[in-house]
Amino acid sequence: MQEKVLKARRGMPVLLGGIILYLLALAGTIWGGALLENGKGIGAVLLILGILWLLVGFIPFIGLKIIKPNEALVLTLFGKYMGTLREAGFFFVHPFSTAINPAAKTRLGQSGDVESGSAGKVIRHTAQGAEALEPSASRKVSLKVMTLNNSKQKVNDTLGNPIDIGIAVMWRVVDTAKAVFQVDNYKEYLSLQCDSALRNIVRIYPYDVAPNVDTTGDGMPDEGSLRGSSAEVAERIRAEIQSKVTGAGLEILEARITYLAYAQEIAAVMLQRQQASAIIDARKMIVDGAVGMVEMALQKLNENGIVQLDDERKAAMVSNLLVVLCGNRDAQPVVNSGSLY
C-alpha cells in the first residue's frame, strides 16, 4: 500500500461557521419559544430547528485537526484508507474519519524494554516485572528523526568468543501507509530487526584482527575486526536493517556502535592475552632499537679511531650494552681504572 497525501480544508472557516451556527441555533430556540407562546406557528419550526442543531451541531467540530511540523495523521473512513495529512496547520477532515497509529502507545527505549499496549493501557516490560502506564492519546505518526538505543547483547564473534555489543540506530518514518498497515507495530518491528541484524553482522567479524578470517566474503583473509573496523561494521548493520524495514516504510539513517567489549566470563583472560601481546611487541621494539644503538656505537668508535677492539672485547661490549639497553632496571655504572688489556 502506497501513501496518499490528503488535501484537507482549512479548519478556521469551519470553526467560525460552526460557532456562528450554534449562536444562531440558540437564538432561534429562544425566539421560537417566544413566538410559540404568542400562538404563532413559525415559532414551533424555529424551536425544532434550533434544538436539533444544538444536539447535532458538534459533529463538524470532531473533524477539526491540528497538525504540528513533522507530524502526520493517517485517516481511514469506515475501514477504507482515505489518505495521510502531512501539512502542518489547522484542518477540517471528514468528521467520521478515524486516525490510525498502532504504535501510539509504544515507547521504544531499548530493545529489551519495549512498551506495548494491552487492554487500553501501556505495559512496560522490565526485569522486575510489568509496570502499567497511562496510555497515550495521540494518534499522530511522528516524522521526526528518532533514536533507538539498543540494549547490550551477548553475541559470539566469528571465532566463537562471546562479545557484549550495543548499537544506536537513527531512523524515521518515510511512508506512513506502509508503517501503519504493512506491519502490526512498526516500532516493535524495527526493534526486533535491529537485534537480528546486529547478530547477523557481528558473527562475521572477530573482535580483534585474526589470521585466516574472511569478513568480506571474497574468499581472501583480511584485517577486518569489530574493534578496528567499527565504521564498516556499523554501515553493514545499517544496510542490513534497512533491507528488512523498507517494506514497513522506515528509513535507517545511521547506525553506531555504542558499546563493545568481551563478555564478562572471558574478559579477564582476554585482558591478560592483550597485555602479553603488548609486552611482546614492546620488547621487540626495545631489542630492535638496542641492536641499532650498539651497531651505531661500534661504527662510531671504529670511524673515529678512539679505541681498537678485538672480537672478544667487541663481544663483551655488545653484551654489556644490550644488558643496559634491554634491562628493566637502571644499570649500575662500574668505573674501570685499570688497563683495557
Distance CA 176, CA 130 (A): 30
pTM equals 0.69
Q: What superfamily would CATH give domain 108-112+141-262? A: Band 7 domain (3.30.479.30)
Number of H helices, E strands in the chain: 8, 15
The pLDDT, as a whole number, for residue 300 is: 78
The pLDDT, as a whole number, for residue 125 is: 43
User: What residues have CB less than 8 Å from 298, skipping those under 6 apart?
Assistant: 314, 317, 318
The pLDDT, as a whole number, for residue 119 is: 43
Distance CA 337, CA 335 (A): 6
The pLDDT, as a whole number, for residue 181 is: 92
| Structural contact between residues 340 and 309, judged by C-beta atoms closer than 8 angstroms | no
Location of C-alpha cell 495523521: 73
154 sits in which H/E element: strand 153-156
In 3D space, the residue among 296, 69, 13, 256 whose CA is nearest the CA of residue 150 turns out to be: 256
Distance CA 35, CA 47 (A): 9
Beta bridge partners of 166: 259
Secondary structure class of 166 (helix, strand, coil):
strand
| Structural contact between residues 48 and 77, judged by C-beta atoms closer than 8 angstroms | no
In 3D space, the residue among 195, 197, 188, 6 whose CA is nearest the CA of residue 84 turns out to be: 6
Distance CA 260, CA 153 (A): 10
For residue 295, CA distances in Å to 41, 132, 152, 318, 320 come to: 126, 77, 53, 9, 13
DSSP labels for 193-247?
HHHHHHHHHHTTS-SS--TT--SSSSSS-----TTT-HHHHHHHHHHHHHHHHGG
Distance CA 106, CA 115 (A): 5
In 3D space, the residue among 309, 277, 279 whose CA is nearest the CA of residue 294 turns out to be: 309
The pLDDT, as a whole number, for residue 330 is: 65
Location of C-alpha cell 562475521: 204
| Structural contact between residues 94 and 63, judged by C-beta atoms closer than 8 angstroms | yes
Chain segment 85-134, per-residue pLDDT in tens: 988 899 999 899 999 998 888 876 644 444 444 444 444 444 334 444 44
Joined grid coordinates for residue 39: 400562538
The pLDDT, as a whole number, for residue 123 is: 44
Q: What does DSSP assign to residue 260?
A: E
The radius of gyration of the chain's CA atoms, rounded to the nearest angstrom, is 38
Per-10-residue mean pLDDT of the chain, 341 residues long, equals 84 90 87 74 80 87 90 91 91 90 76 43 43 55 88 85 90 93 91 91 87 81 85 92 93 92 73 73 79 80 72 74 69 59 52
Beta bridge partners of 260: 165
Domain with CATH 3.30.479.30 in the chain: 108-112+141-262
